[in-house]
Amino acid sequence: MTIHPCGLHRIAYDRASQKGARSNWVRARRSEIEYAARLRKVARHVGDIVKAFDPNDFAQSALIETALIKYSEVIDHWSSAAGARMVTEVAAREKRQWEQVSAQVGRGIRQQIETAPIGKVTRDAMAEQVKLIKSLPIEAAERVHKLAIEGLSGGNRASEVAAEIMKTGEVTKSRANTIARTEVGRVSTEFTKARSEHLGSTEFIWRTAGDSDVRPSHKALNGKSFKWSDPPECDPGHHALPGAIWNCRCYAEPVLPDLD
């Protein structure tokens, strides 16, 4: 553990060693993989719905749209369960990290960790997952509608439009993967923020995954301190906490008050 210039402890969770850093990333990656696999089931069914109709008959686009909207309603309960499972898994992993922090600090903070106000974070995260999961077939329906209009207007070749309609399942699959990758990181960051602020933290250190896939704008933020309440501009026109913006694998390293 090192001391921040402001006299505050910089706690790096289980990243005190390269081995610890590696294990932390693997666990986060597993949550993302499992969540993405669940969401891709929705994408596959979206694809099945679209393929059940004749893409060359643009008059059937209304039937496809109706079927997709109906599907978004049917999966309401499933979406709640899938979202709750991901949020619960991420919360448990994040809590284990904090239990390791309590050992590093040298003073029992387990009770404070237990009493952190994460209830609202949990409820908000679960509600957001339901919204995002159900948006998959809804966005697919909107895509089919737009393409059908193009086909009927004659603005593009009918065969090309039909081919694009048939790709709706693959487009939805890509969207599902993006949601999983983004939400696992964002939810984890929200839990970290809630517990950090409960312990008196007002700032964090931006940390990246440390590989060649890190986007340049995020690499420039690595190692710098920011206020929880005032996240930096990590992408042009977008301010966000680490891991809380699309496809971001960065994480926040809390700067905690002296708890010794």
Residue 157 banded pLDDT, cuts 50, 70, 90: confident
In angstroms, the CA 234 to CA 223 distance is 13
Asked if pLDDT for residue 6 goes beyond 70, the answer is no
Q: Which of 6, 22, 128 lies closest to 79 in space, CA to CA?
A: 128
Asked if pLDDT for residue 1 goes beyond 60, the answer is no
Q: In the prediction, which pLDDT does 176 show?
A: 97
Asked if pLDDT for residue 81 goes beyond 70, the answer is yes
With a CB cutoff of 8 Å and minimum separation 6, the contacts of 86 are 31, 34, 35, 38, 129, 183, 184, 187
One DSSP character per residue, 226-249 reads EETTB--EEETTEE--TT-STT--
Question: Domains in the chain and their CATH numbers?
Answer: 23-202 (1.20.120)
67-92: average pLDDT = 96
- For residue 212, the tally of other CB atoms under 10 A from its CB is 6
Q: Which two tokens stand for residue 19?
A: 């081995």
Residue 21 banded pLDDT, cuts 50, 70, 90: very low
| Selected residue with higher pLDDT from 252 and 10 | 252
pTM recorded for the entire structure: 0.84
Longest Cα separation, the chain:
72
Q: In the prediction, which pLDDT does 9 show?
A: 42
